[in-house]
Amino acid sequence: MIWKRQIPILIVALIGALTLFGWFIEEPSIEAFVNDDATQWYDILASFAIILGAMNLMKLQLQKIARRKKGWPYSVVAIFGFLFAITAGFFIKGVDDSVAVWGAHVTTEGTLFKWMFDFMFTPLSATMFSLLAFFVASASYRAFRIRNFEASLLLVSGIIIMVGRVPIGSVISSWFIMYIIVLALGIGVNSWKKDKMITFGVVGVGIAAVTIAGIMTGWPLDQPSIFYLPIIQEWIYYYPNVAGARAIMIGIGLGIFATSIRYILGIEKSYIGE
């Protein structure tokens, strides 16, 4: 029992603590361990994990074929593709005998592996990403349903980003956006005051002000720049988006730190099956 439970927990706690706190200790031997040895150990363990994952993939696909489960012909294709890639990568260097360095054939033109990568893997990857666009559009439709203020803000920001980053966004006048803002302001006032006269007055004054300002300035396409779609989407992309992304990364970092502490203290024992 001690070899299956206490010893693995002790090893994880010791190596985890040394690797984690080694970043804060200025000692050459510890820094060498963190920067070199620990990384090499990780690569070795990850290599064996990849082998185990590949074997598990083959096992699951073979079981699916043997039991004739739904979609089993796709498992046949998966197994054939796996074996073909393994053969092309490890056993067949290609027709070019000058490829003498082991591993160079995976990037050398004229080899079987390079042909597979260029004419099979790359088109399939492009197909997957093209289908992903439709899935994103479907998910966006469900997420952009206006139920509250946050959903409305997400909807407006998404439309501005999508339209502002395509060529048609640069030909939409900022004055057109100002008219839309006036109408949206009228909708907000009507929802607040519930008075048609006040709503009509706000919309009328807003349209008149925008029209007069446009006539006086000559209706420039990108002026005022604050209402020009490419400028708006750029501001959203570089400020609120970056701030949100950094907040997410900070949260991820804190989560990794908390999980590491749980492993070091022996609280988290999922890696030993508990």
Digit-coded pLDDT (tens) for 48-107: 999 999 999 999 999 999 999 988 999 999 999 899 888 888 877 655 555 456 666 677
Work out the percent of the chain whose per-residue pLDDT is above 70: 92
* Residue 93, pLDDT score: 66
* Residue 95, pLDDT score: 53
Q: How far is CA 100 from CA 28, 94, 104, 138, 159, in A?
A: 39, 11, 8, 49, 54
Rounded Cα–Cα distance for residues 146 and 149 (Å): 8
Cβ atoms 102, 92 nearer than 8 A: no
Is there a domain that residue 90 lies in? Answer: yes
Rounded Cα–Cα distance for residues 205 and 61 (Å): 68
- Least confident among 43-47, 81-85, 149-153, 159-163: 149-153
Answer yes or no: do 98 and 176 share one domain.
no
Across 196-209, average pLDDT = 89
Q: How far is CA 7 from CA 11, 118, 165, in A?
A: 6, 47, 56
Answer yes or no: do 129 and 160 share one domain.
no
- Least confident among 33-37, 167-171, 229-233: 33-37
- Of 140, 166, 196, which residue sits at a domain end? 140
Answer yes or no: do 148 and 197 share one domain.
yes
Per the model's pLDDT, the better-predicted residue between 152 and 62 turns out to be 62
Answer yes or no: do 148 and 131 share one domain.
no
- Of 140, 157, 178, which residue sits at a domain end? 140
* Residue 87, pLDDT score: 85
Answer yes or no: do 114 and 174 share one domain.
no
For 6-52, write each residue's pLDDT tens digit.
Answer: 888 888 888 888 877 777 777 788 888 888 888 888 889 888 999 99
Cβ atoms 225, 174 nearer than 8 A: yes
CA 146 to chain centroid, in Å, comes to 24
Domain residues for 34? 2-140
Is there a domain that residue 155 lies in? Answer: yes
Is there a domain that residue 39 lies in? Answer: yes
Is there a domain that residue 81 lies in? Answer: yes
Omega of the bond leading into 224 within 30 degrees of 0 (cis): yes
Cβ atoms 229, 165 nearer than 8 A: no
* Residue 35, pLDDT score: 81
Is there a domain that residue 251 lies in? Answer: no
The alpha helices in the chain, defined as continuous H runs, are 7-21, 28-32, 38-66, 72-90, 112-116, 122-143, 149-164, 174-193, 196-217, 229-238, 240-264
* Residue 66, pLDDT score: 92
- Of 115, 140, 165, which residue sits at a domain end? 140
Give me the number of domains the chain comprises. Answer: 2
Is there a domain that residue 127 lies in? Answer: yes
Answer yes or no: do 151 and 221 share one domain.
yes
* Residue 32, pLDDT score: 82
Answer yes or no: do 39 and 162 share one domain.
no
Across 99-128, average pLDDT = 79
Is there a domain that residue 149 lies in? Answer: yes
Answer yes or no: do 110 and 182 share one domain.
no
Instruction: Tell me what the pLDDT averaged over the chain comes to.
Output: 84
Answer yes or no: do 116 and 197 share one domain.
no
Is there a domain that residue 250 lies in? Answer: no
- End-to-end alpha carbon distance in the chain: 13
88 exposure class (CB count in 10 Å sphere: 0-12, 13-18, 19+): buried
Answer yes or no: do 20 and 82 share one domain.
yes
Cβ atoms 160, 232 nearer than 8 A: yes
Q: Which two tokens stand for residue 150?
A: 């946050």
Across 256-265, average pLDDT = 85
Answer yes or no: do 47 and 123 share one domain.
yes
Answer yes or no: do 182 and 76 share one domain.
no
